[in-house]
Amino acid sequence: MGDLFSNLALGFSVALSLNNLLLCFAGCMIGTLIGVLPGVGPIATIAMLLPLTFKVDPTGALIMLAGIYYGAQYGGSTTAILVNIPGEATSVVTTIDGHEMAKRGRAGAALGISALGSFFAGCFATVLVAALGAPLTKVALFFGPAEYFSLMVMGLVFATVLARGSIIKAVGMIFVGLLLSTVGQDLETGTERLTFGWSELSDGVDFAVLAMGVFGFAEVIRNLENPEARDVVKGSIGSLLPNREEMNRSYLPVLRGTLIGSILGILPGNGALLGPFASYTIEKKMAKDPSRFGKGAIEGVAGPESANNAGAQTSFIPLLTLGIPPNAVMALMVGAMTIQGIVPGPQVMTKSPNLFWGMVASMWIGNLMLLVINLPLVGMWVKLLKVPYRLMYPAILIFCCIGMYSINNNPIDVMLTAFFGLAGYLLVKMGFEPAPLLLGFVLGKLMEENLRRAMIIARGDLSTFVERPLSAALLAIAVLLVSIAVIPSINKKRDVVFTE
Amino acid sequence: MEENSQGAGFVKAPQDLAAGLFLIALALFAFWLGSNLNPGTLRSMGPGMLPRIVSALVGITGVVLTVNAFLLNGSALDRIAFRGPLFVTIAIIVFGLTIRGFQIPLPGGGSLTAPALGILGAGPLAIMVSGFASPETKWGELFIFAIGMTVLCTAMFKLALNLPIPLSPIIFGY
């Protein structure tokens, strides 16, 4: 326990430096700004803003990125409540009751409770990350290449099972991601692989190019298809503070949502995504009068929003301790860390405690900032929501172009991104989700490295993966999950969770 | 292409069929690209091992999807827009070509040179081209917006963040 506090103290001393405070603030502001835009979720926001962080030192960059993430998530909720457009999957639930509240003139209360609930959840999750970080890192020290490989297999299995839509398509996307990761020079021999002999590809497909294309540009193209039908709440937002009755209804859902979200967030795969859905279902089941749900029940905002934020934060745990990104957002973080020259994994905590604990502490500061800067600024966000998409998309495009260009000062990057944007659009049209692709891409190189090492150690004997107990256990969990997922009855339930 | 009708008849899930065939094609292509790489042995893997295994996995997934498309009901093909994707892509490429100039090699020797317009030229140009992507574009409004955005981006990226973006090499030389 004493360790925890001294570590957190170190973290706060890093995060509270003027420079890092400014970066955290900038991240939260810009993240909210972009995240508020309808149809632009956290993944797209981070992908677009990634280039902004490259010129900053690693600690500052990660603090800023984390700020962008919470900001985007928060902005997404604002859009969900005021415009009835979920910026991303996790705020789908918020639109149900949040927008109903807004229509009844309680938009302010919905925004307020979502901010307060998120803040509470953020505080809890920050402590959880700090508390679980050290022990999990110790576990990771027992991991050899075989265990890492199995862990990543398990993570990818989670990602497919918990992904939305067709499992087989998610599997396909992961494999395509793995395939893309093999492009470029071979790690050991330096042989060019799948590059068409094109020197631009000899370093492999650039992470930012892929992410910005598949999530940024593809998203813009997709949004252009839908004719603009925005249901921005007219009239006043009302008081931002929920009244006493609303507070009384909300505090238990906030507590439950925080707990559910925190636990599900740690799961690899899209655990954080399940939190809000689970929370909403539970609140509806526990309510004395479930018929209020869907008609503006504040519990239906308070619970899922807390779960959402808690999960967003605890999903950093697998990334920071094991170096395994549990979802697409964390995959973007891995990309950012790698570009900064940091190899994610258990060694981060011991080798650069400043970075690790500084980032953890900045999570709490970021949440506080969101509360302080966003509530008074709601009016501004509402104005921003009224900017028509016909002006918004050229602005997004030009930001992305400048960002892409300035990463390497290479115009070819910009053009490659256009290609991946088009490819991403076509993938969506074929019913593929791009998130597993990014996950596969990020894990691909690590998996290959560990697989090859494991095979060298075991002299080419594949049974090493089941003979080593830790590795066997991880693979067993993966197999168990797959068998659960393919049993049709559970599969059906899973669809229900997502359509409800 | 019909919209939202469940595939009736022979192909029960047209979208899955397209997805499956795409994966198979991608797998074959990657397999062909990697066919000259040495796979090595499990004991000491060569550069060709992983590309080969992963292409096979992609292909198998594709086959499963394709077979499923004939057995299980699924979504019809989505309508694929033409205007949006085309002009967004062109706008980005125009930006890439003109931000600091670009030489496009022509098949018959020689090359085509795009001028180095820098942020002051490539910015508004890309914005105006992207205007073709939406039927809702109002050109006068977009023109003013393009100028405003360019000023804002120059101030933010060039002056505040100090990114090495060329201002306008064709006019100023930097």
Interval A381-403: pLDDT, tens:
878 877 888 888 898 899 889 88
Q: How far is B122 from chain A (nearest CA, A)?
A: 9
Q: Residue for token digits 């890192």?
A: A137
Those residues with Cβ within 8 angstroms of residue A286's Cβ, 6 or more apart along the chain or in another chain: none
pLDDT digits (tens, 9 = 90+) for A5-34: 888 888 888 888 998 999 999 999 988 888
The pLDDT value recorded for residue A227 is: 64
- Identify the residue among B28, B44, B50, B150 best suited for mutation to test binding to A, counting A beta carbons within 10 A and taking the highest: B50
Q: Is the pLDDT of residue A414 over 80?
A: yes
pLDDT bin (cut points 50, 70, 90) of residue A272 is low
Q: Which residue has the higher pLDDT, B73 or B18?
A: B18
pLDDT at B2: 40
pLDDT of B3 reads: 42
Asked if B96's CB is within 8 angstroms of A412's CB, the reply is yes
- The pLDDT, as a whole number, for residue A392 is 86
Residue A230 scores a pLDDT above 70: no
Instruction: Report residue A238 as tokens.
Output: 């009302």
φ, ψ for residue A365, nearest 5 deg: -60, -40
Given a cut of 80, whether residue A84 has pLDDT beyond it is: no
Locate the chain B residue with the closest alpha carbon to A218: B85
CB atoms < 10 A from the CB of A280, how many?
Answer: 27
Q: Is the Cβ pair B37, A55 closer than 8 Å? A: no
- As a whole number, mean pLDDT of residues A181-186 equals 88
Q: Which of B23, B102, B145 sits opposite A411 (nearest CB)?
A: B102
Cβ neighbours, 10 Å, residue A423? 18
CB-based contact A397 B64, cutoff 8 Å: no
pLDDT per residue as tens digits for the range A305-314: 999 889 888 8
- The reported pLDDT for the residue numbered A270 is 62
Test B62 with A172 for CB contact under 8 angstroms.
yes
Q: How confident is the model at residue B75 (pLDDT cuts 50, 70, 90)?
A: confident
Amino acid occupying residue B137: T
Which residues does A234 contact at the CB level (< 8 Å), separation at least 6?
none
- Residues A232/A98, Cβ–Cβ less than 8 Å: no
User: What pLDDT sits at residue A106?
Assistant: 85
* CA-based nearest distance B32→chain A, Å: 9
The predicted model gives A324-347 an average pLDDT of 83
Q: Which residues of A450-471 are buried (b: 16+ CB within 10 A; e: fewer)?
A: bbbbbbeebeeeeebbeebeeb
**Residues of chain B above pLDDT 70, percent:** 95
Alpha-carbon gap: B173 to the closest alpha carbon of chain A (Å) = 17
With contact defined as beta carbons under 8 Å apart, do B84 and A429 qualify? no
Would you say residue B5 has pLDDT above 80? Answer: no
Of B18, B43, B142, the CB nearest to A394: B142
Interface of A with B in 166-185 (CB under 8 A): 166, 168-169, 171-172, 175-176, 178-179, 182
Residues of chain B with Cβ-Cβ distance to A193 below 8 Å are: 34, 37, 47-48, 51
- Residue found by looking up tokens 């899973």 in the block: A494
Report residue A241's pLDDT band, with 50, 70 and 90 as the boundaries: confident
Exposed e or buried b for every residue in A52-61, given b needs 16+ CB within 10 A? Answer: bbbebebbbb
Length of chain B: 174
To the nearest whole Å, the CA of A402 is away from the closest chain B CA by: 8
* pLDDT score of B151 more than 90: yes
Report residue A79's pLDDT band, with 50, 70 and 90 as the boundaries.
confident
User: Stretch A308-324: mean pLDDT, rounded?
Assistant: 85
| pTM of this structure | 0.84
* Cα–Cα distance for residue pair A303/A305, rounded to 1 Å: 6
Residue A411: closest C-alpha in chain B:
B96
- What is the per-residue pLDDT across A354-386, written as a single tens digit (0 to 9) for each? 888 888 888 889 888 888 877 788 778 878 877
Please name the residue of chain B whose CA is at the shortest distance from the CA of residue A195.
B33
pLDDT for the residue numbered A229:
60
- Tell me the pLDDT tens digit for each residue of B32-51: 988 888 888 888 888 888 89
Contacts of B142 in chain A (CB under 8 A): 390-391, 394
201-230 in chain A: CB under 8 A from chain B = 217, 220-221, 224-225, 228
Asked if A449 has any chain B CB less than 8 Å from its own CB, the reply is: no
Q: Residue A103's pLDDT is what?
A: 83
Longest dimension (CA), chain B: 66
3-class SS at A322? helix
Q: Is the pLDDT of residue A499 over 50?
A: no
Q: Which of B37, B87, B88 is the best mutation test for A, with the most CBs of A within 10 A?
A: B88
In this prediction, residues A272-285 reach a mean pLDDT of 83
Beta carbons of B96 and A415 less than 8 Å apart: yes
CB atoms < 10 A from the CB of A116, how many?
22
Enumerate the residues of chain B whose CB falls inside 8 A of the CB of residue A33: none
Q: Is the pLDDT of residue A489 over 60?
A: no
Nearest to B134 among A191, A390, A461 (CB): A390
Determine, for residues A193 and B88 on separate chains, whether the beta-carbon distance falls below 8 Å: no
pLDDT digits (tens, 9 = 90+) for A100-116: 888 888 888 888 898 88
Q: Which of A182, A406, A418 sits opposite B157 (nearest CB)?
A: A406
Q: Which of A338, A325, A353, A344 is nearest to A266 (CA)?
A: A325
In percent, the amount of chain B with pLDDT more than 90 equals 45
Residues A425, A218 contacting (CB under 8 angstroms): yes
Share of chain A above pLDDT 70, in %: 92
Rounded to whole angstroms, the Cα distance separating A16 from A24 reads: 10
Within 8 A of A432 by CB-CB distance, chain B residues are 19
Give the span between the Cα atoms of A209 and A404, in whole angstroms: 7
Judged by CB atoms closer than 8 Å, whether chains meet at B88 and A459 is answered as no
Give the Cα separation of A437 and A441 in Å (integer).
6
Nearest chain B Cα distance for residue A164, angstroms = 15
For B132-148, what is the mean pLDDT?
93
Confidence of residue B4 (pLDDT cuts 50, 70, 90): very low
Instruction: Give A479-485 contacts, CB < 8 A, sequence gap 24+.
Output: A481/A154, A481/A157, A481/A158, A481/A161, A482/A157, A482/A161, A484/A161, A485/A160, A485/A161, A485/A167
Sequence-ordered strand ranges (E) for A174-330: 184-185, 192-193
Instruction: Compute how many other C-beta atoms are within 10 angstroms of the C-beta atom of residue A414.
Output: 28
**Distance of residue B57 Cα from the nearest chain A Cα, in angstroms:** 7
Query: Is the four-CA dihedral A138, A142, A145, A151 of positive or negative sign?
Result: negative
ipTM for the assembly = 0.90
Chain B residue numbers touching A456 (CB-CB < 8 A): 43-44
Where helices occur in A297-388 by DSSP H, the ranges are: 299-314, 316-322, 328-339, 347-351, 353-385
- pLDDT at position B139 is 94
* Average pLDDT, integer, range A60-80: 87
Contact B92 A456 (CB under 8 A): no
Q: Pick the residue with more confidence: A195 or A210? A: A210
Chain A partners within 8 Å of B134 (Cβ):
224, 389-390, 393
Question: Among A110, A81, A129, A66, which residue's Cα sits nearest to residue A367?
Answer: A66
**Cβ proximity of A99 and A84 under 8 Å:** yes
Chain A contact for B82, CB < 8 A?
no
8 Å CB contact of B16 and A405: no
pLDDT digits (tens, 9 = 90+) for A439-448: 889 888 888 8
Q: How confident is the model at residue A500 (pLDDT cuts 50, 70, 90)?
A: very low
Predicted pLDDT at A40: 74
pLDDT at A418 over 50: yes
Residue from B29, B163, B165, B174 to probe the interface with A (highest A Cβ count within 10 Å) = B163
- Locus of tokens 């008849």: B9
Which residues does chain A have within 8 Å of residue B19's beta carbon, measured at their own beta carbons? 169, 172, 430-432
Three-class DSSP category at A152? helix
Segments in A104-183 forming alpha helices (H): 107-140, 145-162, 167-181
Lowest mean pLDDT among A243-252, A262-271, B48-57, B151-160: A262-271
